[in-house]
Structure 1
Amino acid sequence: MAIPLLILSFLTIFIAYKLFQRLRFKLPPGPRPLPIVGNLYDLKPVLVRCFTEWSQIYGPIFSVYLGSHLSVVVNSAELAKEVLKDNDQQLANRNRTRQIAKFSKNGMDLIWSDYGPHYVKVRKLCTLELFSMKRIDALRPIREDEVTAMVESIFKDCVKPENKGKALVLREYLGMMAFLHITRLSFGKRFMDSNGVIDQQGEELKGILNNGIKLGTKKSFAEFLPWLRFLFKAENEALAEHDARADSFTKKIMEEHTIARKKTGNTKSHFVDALLTLQKEYDLSEDTIIGLLWDMISAGMDTTTITVEWAMAEMVRNPRVQQKVQEELDRVVGKDRVMTEADIPNLPYLQCVTKECFRMHPPTPLMLPHKANTNVKIGGYDVPKGATVSVNAWAIARDPAIWKNPIEFRPERFQEEDIDMKGTDYRLLPFGSGRRICPGAQLAINLVSSMLGHMVHHFDWAPPAGVRPEDMDMMEQPGTVTYMRTPLQAVPTPRLSADLFKRVAVGNV
């Protein structure tokens, strides 16, 4: 008898609170929530498409309840400006789920920290030290090493007699390149030897990453019904075990670098050495250093793979664009050498292709959620303190009111109008804007442009035999970041001489 009464009490309190909230605040319209679960049962798997559909029903700003938690979604450039500029400071906090709170040491990193003295300090560190132009330039050899290693791997596989004319799954190559690149930048080590064999430490890191993905995709009602979390003991234990495993791995790497630095006195350009060297100057706790290193891994791995895979899919579907990029590369770089990042400023059409991909396929289409630290008004509606606000960058990029033929992949639009994608133009927000803008935007742009340039300079790309470009699956996979639902398969044909497909290897920088 006690349990039904307890449930009834919870229901009564919940309904009373929601009625009070609706009377006190003028909330944005939205689908009608159910008691306790809110709109959880209304959500479709690909959340960004679901929210874009709802924006056509309820308007450019609407409310949705994830369990008892109010989330407000904005779907226009004008409202994005209100969130990211006009009310930037009031909406600069983060809503941390149970899993995120564990991994971020309850916001001791950069990505998931609330806005305040800690965030300002760590943000300054990232802007002035980790992602300064000087450090980005110093780490360029690593980027070019891994990009050319990827090209060499594709070349070796596609010229095998048994693979002639066969399609390759590009995600396998892009994912490995992103893994090796970001781990070298973060941890200062290449976990793979010259024969393509990943060492024991690398296998442990891959295991941690795969387990993190597994935990992240396993949604639990405990996230949305916090008063029932005591029922999810096994999940809590799994999170704690994963966190301890990641901590142990990172501390071993940090210890190795500390010992090496004491022996040689040398400081490398990669992030772990930089953070350890700057630890006293910026008063960084060990938790913050670990959190920042994993921020780099989580922010720099999936997003690179996702963006380049979508861009390659668009160029396979649009051979006109692919040919135009190749003509520019042949004219600027020629066919007797490989391109480098130094060539990118002289490749304006390639830069337009990069922009167009970030427009149509932002890797985090709903950006990361902002949380109101006070009551605030957006679009004439109230957003109560504690509510989450999400900016639907995917919907904004497909708004016919601001983009001509928005669902057409047409890089030329950025030749007709110079549009910034680093947060000053609210029509194009792949890296966010304001206080929470991604500090590694320039690094990401350089890497994506380099990968695309190399892929198209070295190879012609075509759909698999019997597959028409218009029949390719261009649907997103569910998740915070949007991989292609069906991994891209394409047939590469080398277009340069064989000696230009060799990896340009460098040691640790």
Structure 2
Amino acid sequence: MNLWYIIVAIVIFASIMIAKKTRKTKKNLPPGPPRLPIIGNLHQLGSQPHRSMFKLSEKYGSLMSLKFGNVSTVVASTPETVKDVLKSLDADCCSRPYMTYAARITYNLNDLAFSPYSKYWREVRKMTIVELYTAKRVKSFRHIREEEVASFVDFIEQSASLANPVNLNKKLMQLSGSVICRVGFGINLEDSKLKNTYEEVIQGTMEVLGSFAAADYFPVIGQLIDRITGLHSKCEKVFKAMDSFFDQSIKHHLEDESIKDDIIALLLKMEKGETGLGEFQLTRKHTKGILLNVLIAGIDTSGHTITWVMTHLIANPRVMKKVQAEVREVIKNKDNITEEDIERLQYLKMVIKESFRINPLVPLLIPREASKDVKIAGYDIPKKTWIHVNIWAVHRNPNVWKDPEAFIPERFMDNEIDYKGLNFELLPFGSGRRMCPGLGMGMALVHLTLTNLLYRFDWKLPEGMEVEDVDLEESYGLVCPKKVPLELIPVLTQWT
């Protein structure tokens, strides 16, 4: 009988402890839409997840819970919740989850963008900023920007003389690629293995890196699903193309030791132990992972930004007329445009900000992962939760922006909102520890190129097209370029 009393007491005690633990672990999670068995909310993402998430957030709130397969996710969609993630809780929310295809393309997360928050990441970020992205270094590459933009302008002049339309998507990607290849790799794009497949490889890489891969959400059958959908083969194709380009660039440096003033030369010294990266010894995979970030971040920032600005200008003749009047008044009859001239173009800066607002290049920031239990907007966010920051939703929020669908650069007049990570209403480059370090490098090319295009040429649509026909839809990837290529006919102005 005593034994039964002991058993009953143990059962009651265990039940009480389980009940207490259950109450203790019950979380106050953010609200979210109903989920389907197994797949959760994946069926609700569609072909443009940033737009789908925005619509869901309008119903379920500024911080929303979603389930992707077996992965718990929250989505921040307003300046307030985004500020919590990127600033107030940055240290606890700035790591990265493991992502299968990002790991493949970045040589097992040996890069800067997808690497988990760690001592290695901090050392790499410090090194790339010092070697490539300080104001002094950006200025030192000025001659490369000017030479490549001059060559680009020559091509536009030839097209203007023949009244030929120019595919600006393609040509601007080539321009930004030419600059970054010379700055970061010591090689001309025209002489590289990416010459003929450059745009395809870069865009394919962005699509893979921005994908919602089944392998990340269904550990057992996910890779099989990705093989069926073609994501796995696309990843392998772009990886091999990139890897071949990196091998070519590194071989070029090893054969010509006179090349000393770019990031590959520095990384090769680190591989040899001639200069340090803190306590870390670089391998060739580290080198290639870092080079991947230098290549893709530098290209998309500038090339697609200029394309979107020109798209909105041709679709808004009033704004085009006003910004060209400013550029031509400031530059006047000068042949050589200086960065000091560009600094005075206040309305052009507003046009660029408005373009970033309507078409942020990275509408969904790379997912973050909570490194411990945190509270955001009063809700419990458990450790290991994935955190999506929906920049597109912030930029289209009607409570923040009046007439958010309209292109109105004047909304930035007489206010201090900028895109450098301190104003959480406008975050095209993110904010905090994970903010894009190449902002200065990319924007230097954006300003120089746009000033030349607006000063030296007038622009018109191909015959038969009207302003209303200009397509404003974006393709989806980690970076979202214009879906339908922008083709415009340049017209030489009296200044040229």
Give TM-score scaled by structure 1 length: 0.84
Q: CA deviation at 1:239?
A: 4.9
- The aligned counterpart of 1:66 is 68
Letter of the 2:157 counterpart = F
Cα pair 2:211 2:478 within 8 Å, conserved: no
Taking the aligned partners of 1:337 and 1:50, their CA distance within structure 2 comes to 47
- The aligned counterpart of 2:137 is 135
Taking the aligned partners of 2:102 and 2:23, their CA distance within structure 1 comes to 27
| Residues 1:272 and 2:264 aligned together | yes
Please say which of residues 69-78 and 409-418 is displaced more in the overlay. 409-418
After superposition, residues 55-204 of structure 1 pair within 5 angstroms as 55-160=57-162, 164=163, 167-192=165-190, 202-203=195-196
Gaps of 5+ in 1: 1-19, 193-197, 499-509
After superposition, residues 46-57 of structure 1 pair within 5 angstroms as 46-57=48-59
Deviations 1:411-446 (A, max 9, x none): 222221021311111111111111111111111221
| Residues 1:32 and 2:34 aligned together | yes
**Could you say if the C-alpha distance between residues 479 and 337 of structure 1 is closer, same or farther in structure 2, counting changes exceeding 3 Å?**
same
- The aligned counterpart of 2:218 is 225
Structure with max Cα Rg: 2
Letter of the 1:99 counterpart = Y
Of residues 322, 325, 331, the one that matches 1:333 is 331
**Could you say if the C-alpha distance between residues 72 and 184 of structure 1 is closer, same or farther in structure 2, counting changes exceeding 3 Å?**
same
Give TM-score scaled by structure 2 length: 0.86
Deviations 1:245-274 (A, max 9, x none): 54354234223213322xx4x622x32223
Q: Give the % identical residues.
A: 33
Cα pair 2:192 2:248 within 8 Å, conserved: no
Q: Secondary structure at the match of 2:413?
A: helix
Q: Secondary structure at the match of 1:257?
A: helix
After superposition, residues 93-492 of structure 1 pair within 5 angstroms as 93-160=95-162, 164=163, 167-192=165-190, 202-203=195-196, 209=202, 212=205, 221-229=214-222, 231=224, 239=235, 243=239, 246-261=242-257, 264=258, 267-268=260-261, 270-277=262-269, 280-282=275-277, 283-492=281-490
Q: Secondary structure at the match of 2:143?
A: helix
**Could you say if the C-alpha distance between residues 97 and 467 of structure 1 is closer, same or farther in structure 2, counting changes exceeding 3 Å?**
same
Q: CA deviation at 1:218?
A: 7.7
Q: Secondary structure at the match of 1:483?
A: coil
**Could you say if the C-alpha distance between residues 379 and 103 of structure 1 is closer, same or farther in structure 2, counting changes exceeding 3 Å?**
same
Q: Secondary structure at the match of 1:377?
A: strand
Taking the aligned partners of 1:105 and 1:172, their CA distance within structure 2 comes to 28
Please say which of residues 198-207 and 50-59 is displaced more in the overlay. 198-207
Aligned residue pairs, count: 466
Q: Secondary structure at the match of 2:490?
A: strand
**Could you say if the C-alpha distance between residues 22 and 360 of structure 1 is closer, same or farther in structure 2, counting changes exceeding 3 Å?**
farther
Please say which of residues 39-48 and 431-440 is displaced more in the overlay. 39-48
Taking the aligned partners of 2:203 and 2:100, their CA distance within structure 1 comes to 19
Cα pair 1:372 1:384 within 8 Å, conserved: yes
Taking the aligned partners of 1:302 and 1:474, their CA distance within structure 2 comes to 18
Taking the aligned partners of 2:239 and 2:324, their CA distance within structure 1 comes to 45
Taking the aligned partners of 1:431 and 1:95, their CA distance within structure 2 comes to 20
Q: CA deviation at 1:25?
A: 2.0
**Could you say if the C-alpha distance between residues 210 and 485 of structure 1 is closer, same or farther in structure 2, counting changes exceeding 3 Å?**
closer
Taking the aligned partners of 2:201 and 2:474, their CA distance within structure 1 comes to 25
Deviations 1:172-220 (A, max 9, x none): 211211221222222111132xxxxx56563476775476467568865
- The aligned counterpart of 2:11 is none
Deviations 1:441-464 (A, max 9, x none): 111221212221111111112333
Q: CA deviation at 1:374?
A: 1.1
Q: CA deviation at 1:473?
A: 1.8
Letter of the 2:114 counterpart = W
Cα pair 1:205 1:249 within 8 Å, conserved: no
Taking the aligned partners of 2:250 and 2:96, their CA distance within structure 1 comes to 28
Deviations 1:386-426 (A, max 9, x none): 11111111111122222233322222222210213111111
Q: Secondary structure at the match of 1:412?
A: helix
Taking the aligned partners of 1:417 and 1:115, their CA distance within structure 2 comes to 34
**Could you say if the C-alpha distance between residues 418 and 482 of structure 1 is closer, same or farther in structure 2, counting changes exceeding 3 Å?**
same
